[in-house]
């Protein structure tokens, strides 16, 4: 954008014209549109499998992923900067019947796809005993927002 130098009135060299005002409006509109978040994926129930986004992650400076423990459990979020071709870990903890269930899932982000590659869930008792559980579908991605 070429900067317009304005001078105080009544200077006649100030380039105030409809053309320059329209250019200014266009530049402002473009700046605002590039900072608005864009919803790339949304599912109230969430997905515990691969996710297809509505646009490529190459077009965004960062993503914000929202995810939950199970379809209705506690919600967490994480931001991923320069997201294309990244491997990320989502982690969430869940308390139930005196046990803590820390869960992690590993995802690959590439173009318009987020692919789950691994998930582990542990069960920790109040006495400190820990066992790995067999439930490997505990983390559900509910929303992905892109920022340009």
Q: Identify the three-state secondary structure at position 75.
A: strand
Please tell me which of 30-39, 81-90, 133-142 the model is most confident about, judged by mean pLDDT: 81-90
For residues 5 and 44, state if they share a domain: no
List the structure tokens of 142. Answer: 């509910």
Q: List the one residue out of 40, 42, 46 whose CA is nearest residue 73.
A: 46
Residue 2, Cβ neighbours under 10 Å: how many? 6
Domain span at residue 100 reads: 37-147
What was the pLDDT predicted at 27?
Answer: 80
For residues 128 and 59, state if they share a domain: yes
For residues 30 and 47, state if they share a domain: no
**Domains: count for the chain:** 2
pTM above 0.85, yes or no: no
What confidence tens digit (pLDDT) does each residue in 79-131 have? 999 999 999 999 988 888 888 888 899 999 999 999 999 888 888 988 888 88
What confidence tens digit (pLDDT) does each residue in 35-73 have? 789 999 999 888 988 999 999 999 999 999 999 987 667
């Amino acid at each position: 954008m070429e900067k317009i130098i304005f001078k105080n009135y009544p200077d006649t060299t100030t380039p105030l014209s409809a053309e320059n005002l329209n250019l200014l409006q266009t530049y402002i509109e473009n700046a605002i549109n590039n900072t608005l978040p864009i919803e790339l994926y949304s599912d109230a129930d969430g997905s515990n499998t691969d996710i297809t986004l509505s646009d490529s992650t190459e077009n965004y400076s960062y993503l914000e992923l929202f995810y939950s423990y199970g379809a209705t459990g506690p919600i967490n979020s994480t931001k991923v900067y320069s997201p294309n071709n990244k491997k990320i870990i989502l982690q969430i903890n869940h308390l139930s019947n005196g046990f803590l269930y820390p869960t992690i899932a590993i995802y690959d982000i590439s173009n318009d796809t987020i692919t789950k590659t691994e998930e582990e869930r542990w069960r920790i008792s109040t006495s400190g005993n820990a066992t790995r559980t067999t439930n490997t579908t505990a983390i559900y991605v509910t929303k992905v927002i892109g920022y340009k």
